[in-house]
Chains A and B, each alone.
Chain A
Amino acid sequence: MTELATTAQARELHRQFCEDVMSMPGGEKINICQQCGTCTGSCPTSYLMDWGPREIIGAFRAGMIDRVVKSNTIWLCTSCYSCTVRCPAGIKITDLMYELKRMAIKYDLAPKDGKSPAMTKYFVDSVHKHGRNHEVELMAKFMLTKDWGLPFKFMGTGLKLFTAGRLPLFAKNIRGREELDKISAYLEAQEAKTQ
């Protein structure tokens, strides 16, 4: 994980984060969060988090960007959308978590040993390679790089899944898989133009 060495750097990062969050559809609603805590109370994984979603929004608005990106919070969001449908201010908190994850990856602030960022990367790689997510490849890559113990813990179930034909070894490629690279390349070029 990159250290946020100077305050100036942290401030610049905060500015960039704010800009990106505000550019999301409905992103400006973060300004009207009244810190009621409905999100944290609704979150099924908040008990595992360094800081709950309410605190993350508070810290984000206060410019404490270190706390936001170094917390485990954003990586523990399961996208269940409970907070989003309950937020009285209409803040799309799940989308905000996605945005913060994107920023953490983009600025190389995600924890290097983190399992979730790796999972994200392998998933996207698989989609671009085949056009579809090849679950077996995803799991194999993840196990090899992030969790050596997993095959042993999962052995019994894994064998049953395999014999039931639920773990096909080979991926099917779609015909238009190159289109996905082209779509990404186009959007990347557009983004570079606006910056």
Chain B
Amino acid sequence: MRYLYYPGCSSEATGKAYDISTRAMMEKLGVELVELDDWNCCGATSYFNVRELDSFAIAARNLAIAQKQGDEDLCVICNACYTTLAKTNRYIEESPEVHEAVNGALGAVNRSYDGKKAVRHIMDVLVNDVGIEALSEKVTRRLTGIKVAPYYGCQYSRPMGAFDDPEFPTTMDAFFTALGADVITDYAGKSKCCGGMMMLTKEEGALRLCHELLEGAHKAGADVIVCACPLCEMNLEGYQPRVNKAFGTDYDIPVMYFTQLAGLAFGASPKALALDKQIVSCDRVVAAIPA
């Protein structure tokens, strides 16, 4: 099993651990990831504020490179990168005018894109390509007794809902159930917004959203919150002290990339999964996993 791999900009900074743990986990699963050559920023949500066609063309540069580099699907780990790249594909498919304009722009840099590269979220790849049964068989340390709050975030399945329900996604639940964890399947905030970039531009609004998410996990008795997006992870983990200050709470909930917790189950070491890069210590979660 082989995929082209798009790490995204955060993987070089705040979200480093997501990239590192993804590679380590996939290696344990025997899935080969080939990094997309000279990839550029997908444009994320910010670029859409400048010009729509620009954002599609910038995102499509990556898809054009992927088309040239290999026949494999493009596997994406960050929710925002995934939605931006997949949305670009969809608009290209829906609108011949967009496709023509994008190809015109790509032509200016001697590239072209046929609109056919499949963009896949890593969870889609795991659950639907590797498969729940195979995943369960690969487990070397079952996550028995670990209470997991699966936090999907907004752009995991919205707006497209390509591989999971846009409102009430369940793929991550199924994934961690296969790994033996005690999944909080009714985690109320699972697809609610963390505030995203708003943490920098309107902090009180974003803190309130994060508070709701942390409170929900706390009330459900979660040992750990798992994320599939660098911005979600950063807000929930990095800003936990700010939430505590603003709301008079004393949350100390470990937050991991889902690949970190899963990597432990597949036998990777905490160090190989960059668990030392977390701000809220995950030691007690690691220690609680039966050997």
B147 within 8 A of A: no
- Neighbouring A residues of B278 by C-beta, 8 Å: 164
Q: Is A79 within 8 A of B12, CB to CB?
A: no
B7, closest chain A residue (CB): A132
User: By CB atoms of chain A within 10 A, which of B41, B109, B155, B161 has the most?
Assistant: B41
CB < 8 Å: which of B12, B14, B193, B238 contacts A80? B193
Q: Is B200 within 8 A of A156, CB to CB?
A: no
A130, closest chain B residue (CB): B41
Contacts known (A186-B104, A187-B53, A187-B54); A81 close to B158, Cβ less than 8 A: yes
- Neighbouring B residues of A124 by C-beta, 8 Å: 46-47, 50
Q: Is A105 within 8 A of B49, CB to CB?
A: yes
Q: Is B14 within 8 A of A167, CB to CB?
A: yes
User: By CB atoms of chain A within 10 A, which of B57, B94, B106, B159 has the most?
Assistant: B159
B196 within 8 A of A: yes
Q: Is A92 within 8 A of B57, CB to CB?
A: no
CB < 8 Å: which of B98, B155, B198, B276 contacts A45? B198
Contact with A along B171-201 (1 / 0, CB 8 A): 0000000000000000000001101111011
B52 within 8 A of A: yes
- Neighbouring B residues of A172 by C-beta, 8 Å: 12
Nearest chain A CB to B231's CB is how many angstroms away?
10
B residues 1-59 near A (Cβ < 8 Å) are 9-10, 12-17, 38-41, 43-54, 57-58
Q: Is B51 within 8 A of A157, CB to CB?
A: no
A117, closest chain B residue (CB): B49
Q: Is B159 within 8 A of A94, CB to CB?
A: yes
- Neighbouring B residues of A142 by C-beta, 8 Å: 200
B267 within 8 A of A: no
A186, closest chain B residue (CB): B108
B130 within 8 A of A: no
Q: Is A80 within 8 A of B154, CB to CB?
A: yes
A78 within 8 A of B: yes
A131 within 8 A of B: yes
Determine the distance from Cα of A11 to Cα of B12 in the docked complex, in whole angstroms: 46
Contacts known (A79-B45, A176-B38); A24 close to B57, Cβ less than 8 A: no
Q: Is A157 within 8 A of B40, CB to CB?
A: no
Determine the distance from Cα of A115 to Cα of B204 in the docked complex, in whole angstroms: 14
Q: Is B13 within 8 A of A174, CB to CB?
A: no
Q: Is A85 within 8 A of B159, CB to CB?
A: yes
Q: Is B40 within 8 A of A177, CB to CB?
A: yes
Nearest chain A CB to B186's CB is how many angstroms away?
19
Contacts known (A76-B205, A187-B54); A84 close to B158, Cβ less than 8 A: yes
- Neighbouring B residues of A136 by C-beta, 8 Å: 13
A residues 4-45 near B (Cβ < 8 Å) are 24-26, 44-45
Nearest chain A CB to B40's CB is how many angstroms away?
5
Contacts known (A85-B161, A161-B238); A131 close to B40, Cβ less than 8 A: yes
Nearest chain B CB to A93's CB is how many angstroms away?
10
A190 within 8 A of B: yes
A residues 165-193 near B (Cβ < 8 Å) are 165-168, 172, 174-177, 179-180, 182-187, 190
Contacts A161-B14, A185-B108, A186-B105 supplied; 17 other A-B pairs, CB < 8 Å: A80-B193, A95-B48, A101-B49, A116-B197, A119-B197, A123-B46, A135-B14, A136-B13, A139-B200, A166-B13, A167-B14, A168-B13, A172-B12, A179-B40, A183-B57, A183-B106, A190-B104
Interface residues of B (CB under 8 A from A): 9-10, 12-17, 38-41, 43-54, 57-58, 61, 83, 91, 94-95, 98, 101, 104-109, 111, 154-155, 158-159, 161, 166-167, 192-193, 195-198, 200-203, 205, 209, 238-239, 241-242, 276-279
**23 A/B residue pairs, CB under 8 Å, sorted by A:** A24-B52, A25-B94, A45-B193, A80-B158, A81-B158, A86-B167, A92-B159, A94-B159, A102-B51, A105-B49, A115-B200, A117-B49, A119-B201, A127-B40, A133-B44, A135-B10, A139-B200, A164-B279, A166-B14, A167-B14, A174-B39, A180-B40, A183-B54
Interface residues of A (CB under 8 A from B): 24-26, 44-45, 48, 75-76, 78-82, 84-86, 92, 94-95, 98-99, 101-102, 105, 115-117, 119-120, 123-124, 127, 131-136, 139, 142, 147, 150, 153, 156-157, 160-161, 164-168, 172, 174-177, 179-180, 182-187, 190
Going nearest first, the 4 A-B pairs with the smallest beta carbon separation are: A81-B158, A123-B46, A80-B193, A80-B154
